[in-house]
Structure 1
Amino acid sequence: MFLTAFRRRALALLTAGAVAATLAACAGETSPEKTVTVLTHDSFTLPQNLIDDFRAETGITVSFVKSGDAGQLSSVVSLSAGKPKGDAVFGIDNTFAARPIEAGALEPYLSPLAAEGAARFAVPESKNELTAVDRGDVCINVDGAWYDRENIPEPTGLDDLRDPRYRNQAVLLDPATSSPGMSFLLATIGTYKDKAPDYWRALIDNGAQVVSGWEVGYNQLFSAGEGHGSKPIVVSYASSPAATPGTSALLSGCFAQIEYIGILRGASNTAGAKKVIDWMLGPAVQRALPTSMFVYPVQEGTPLPQDWKRRAPAPEYRVTMSPKYINENREAWLKEWRDTVRR
C-alpha cells in the first residue's frame, strides 16, 4: 500500500491538516456535483497546494476519505459494487487489483495521459478499470550503521537472512494483514518457487519476528526507525533509504508493487472522477509523489529528487505477477504461510 506502504512515515512528516481542510471545504462551500469523493488507503497524502490548484483550475473539490490499508480498501470497494461510497478509489495495488475488477465495482476509463507511462503498468487482460499512478518496490532494508557498530558484514541478498550470523535480526510483516508483507511473500514465491515454504521456515528458525504491519516493523522495531528498535533488517521499500540515512535496500528479491486509481461503478460524479485521474497522471502530482509518499512516479520523464539515484535506486529486476494469478492463489499461499509460521 504502492502502502500500502513507507508512506506512513511520509504521512507523519507532512501536515495532517491537508485532507481535513479539503473535507471541510467540501462540506461548507461546494455543491455535490462539484465534489469528487476519492476513497484512499490510510497512508495517502499530497501537498495541499496541489489540491487547491486543482480546485482553482477545475472548480472541483476533491474529498479524500481514508478507508484502511490496501486490502481493506479493496474489500470496501468490492462489497459495495454498484452502490459505492464515493466516486473514485486510489491505492488499490496489484496484489488486490483483481478483486474489485472481478466484482464489477469499477468503471472503465482510459486517460489520454496514460500513454505517457502509466499504460506500461496496466492490469493485464483488463478493460482499463484501473489506471496506474505510482509504484513502490518492496525490498528488504538493512541498517548499515548498525552493522558498522557491530563489526558484522551487512546481508547482501535474501539467502543471507538464513545465515546464523543474522539470527534474531529480521522483522517480517504478516502477509495476511500487511500489503508490503504480502508483496514480500510474493517476492519469495517468485524467487524460490515451490521451495518458498522451506525459505520461510528457515527465516523463522533463524529468529525472524513477524509483526502485523509496516508501522510496527519499521517505526517501532527497526533499529533505524523512529523507535530505534533492536532489529537491523526489515521489510520496507526500495525508496525508504531516501528518508532514512544510513540504510539501504537489498535490490535483489524485490516485488514490484503498483498503485492504481479507478472510477467506482455507480459514482455520482463520473465526469469529475475522470478529471481527477487525469490530474493524478499530470506532471504536478507525479513530481510530488516521491517526496509526499516516497514512491516512484509512473509517467516517463518525471524527475526524481537529486539524491534518489544514490540513496534510493530502483531495482533492475523485480518479481512480477499478474493480479489475476495472485487473486487465484492468495488464500492457498496464505494458508501455507500460516501453517509454516505457526507449526
Structure 2
Amino acid sequence: MTKATYLPAAAGLALCATGALAETPVLQVYTYDSFTTEWGPGPAVEAAFEETCACDLQFVNAGDGAALLARLQLEGPRTEADIVLGLDTNLTAAARETGLFAPHGVTADLDLPIGWEDPDFLPFDWGYFAFVGNAGAAAPANMPELAASDAKIVIQDPRSSTPGLGLLMWVKAAYGDEAPSIWADLADNIVTVTPGWSEAYGLFLDGEADAVLSYTTSPAYHLIAEEDASKVAWAFDEGHYMQVEVAGKVAGTDQPALADAFLAFMVSDTFQSVIPTTNWMYPAATPEAGLPEGFETLITPEKSLLMTADEAAAARDTALDEWRTALSQ
C-alpha cells in the first residue's frame, strides 16, 4: 500500500473509533462530594457498574446532600442529571414537588429499621446522626448537657448539608416547642458552621473542636481503616435522629433503561457490600457477607427519632428560623 492510499484508510479508522466512542451511552449521576472521593464508594461503584452496562457512568459532584436538591431546583427540566443520589427523607417531599422524578419501579429486599414504600425514591444506606468526640473525654448524655458543657462543636449548614438539616430535625423531634431554647443554649458551643460534612469532620480531626456532628458509624472508619479506637459517638438519652439516604430517577432522562439498571444495581449485593467501609453507613440491603468486623462495637440508640417526609417538610422552615435566630444573637 502506498503512502497516498494508507493515509485515508488511517483517517477512516480514526473516524470509526471516534464514532464508536461517541456511541457509548453516558449516565450522569448527581451526588454529594464525599461519595466520589477516592476513599468513597464512587470509584468502586463506577468500575463495577461499567462492567455490566457497556456505558460511561459519570458522577457529578453537587456539594453536600441538601445542595443536590437546590441544584436540581435551579436547573429544572434542563438538568442533565439522569439519577440524583444522596437526598434523604428530610428532602424527598420537596424533591417530589419539583415534578422532576419518575417512579423507580425497583422491587428490593430492603433491611431498614422502618418500612419503605416510596415509589419515587429508593434507599441505598441509612444511619443515625451523632456527635463524635475523642474517647476518654467527658461525654454529655443529651442536648441540654451538651449546651451546659464547655464542649466546642462543629456542625453543618442545614441549607446545604443533610447532616445539618438532620440536626435541626433531631432537635425539633426530641424537644418540640423547646427547640428554640435548646438552640439558644447551644449557640456558644458552636465553633463554626461548615457547608458540608467533609469540612466539618476535617476541622474536628485537626483539633479545632471537641466534637463534630456526624454519625454513630463514623468511629468504625477509624477502627477498621486506621486501627484507631480513639473516636467515639456520644449516646444521647433523648434518642438519635435517623437518616435514610435515597436515589431517584430524573423523569426527563434520555437514558431511562440505563437509569433503571443503575437503580436495580444500587440495591444489589455488589453495590451494598461497598457501603459499610466506604460510605461508613449501614447498607439498605444487608450484603451476603454481613457487616464488617468492628461494626458490632458501635453504639445502638435506645430511641430512634424520625419524621415522615411530609412532617419534615412541614417542620423545616420553622426549625430553620429557630436555628438562624439563635445563632444570630
Q: Please tell me whether the aligned partners of residues 161 and 170 of structure 1 are also in contact (alpha carbons under 8 angstroms).
A: no
Is residue 238 of structure 1 aligned with residue 216 of structure 2? yes
**Structure 1 regions of 5+ residues with no counterpart?**
1-26, 148-152
Query: In the superposition, relative to structure 1, how do residues 29 and 183 fare at CA in structure 2: closer, same or farther (>3 Å)?
Result: farther
Residue 12 of structure 2 is matched in structure 1 by none
Shift of 1:29: 6.3
TM-score where L is the length of structure 2: 0.82
Is residue 306 of structure 1 aligned with residue 293 of structure 2? yes
Identity over aligned residues, as a percent?
26
Residue 171 of structure 1 is matched in structure 2 by 154
Q: Deviations over 1:205-257 (max 9, x none)?
A: 5x33342243343211x2xx1x133x222211111111233121123332111
Q: Please tell me whether the aligned partners of residues 135 and 297 of structure 1 are also in contact (alpha carbons under 8 angstroms).
A: yes
Aligned pairs for 1:98-109 within 5 A: 98-109=93-104
Q: Please tell me whether the aligned partners of residues 235 and 301 of structure 2 are also in contact (alpha carbons under 8 angstroms).
A: yes
Residue 211 of structure 1 is matched in structure 2 by 193
How far, CA to CA, are the matches of 2:221 and 2:326 in structure 1?
A: 34
Residue 109 of structure 2 is matched in structure 1 by 115
Aligned pairs for 1:208-287 within 5 A: 208-212=190-194, 213-220=196-203, 222=204, 225=205, 227-229=206-208, 231-244=209-222, 245-252=229-236, 253-287=239-273
How far, CA to CA, are the matches of 1:29 and 1:100 in structure 2?
A: 36
Shift of 1:110: 2.2
Larger-gyration structure (1/2)? 2
How far, CA to CA, are the matches of 1:28 and 1:341 in structure 2?
A: 56
For 2:321, the aligned partner's letter is: K
Query: In the superposition, relative to structure 1, how do residues 319 and 119 fare at CA in structure 2: closer, same or farther (>3 Å)?
Result: closer
**Structure 2 regions of 5+ residues with no counterpart?**
1-17, 223-228
Residue 335 of structure 1 is matched in structure 2 by 321
For 1:185, the aligned partner's letter is: L
Shift of 1:99: 1.5
SS in 1 for 2:131: strand
Query: In the superposition, relative to structure 1, how do residues 336 and 53 fare at CA in structure 2: closer, same or farther (>3 Å)?
Result: closer
Residue 129 of structure 2 is matched in structure 1 by 138
Residue 65 of structure 2 is matched in structure 1 by 70
Shift of 1:284: 1.1
For 1:117, the aligned partner's letter is: D
SS in 2 for 1:136: strand
Q: Deviations over 1:138-195 (max 9, x none)?
A: 11112124x2xxxxx33233332133xx215333333234321111111111111111
Query: In the superposition, relative to structure 1, how do residues 33 and 323 fare at CA in structure 2: closer, same or farther (>3 Å)?
Result: farther
How many residues matched?
A: 298
- The RMSD of aligned alpha carbons is 2.4
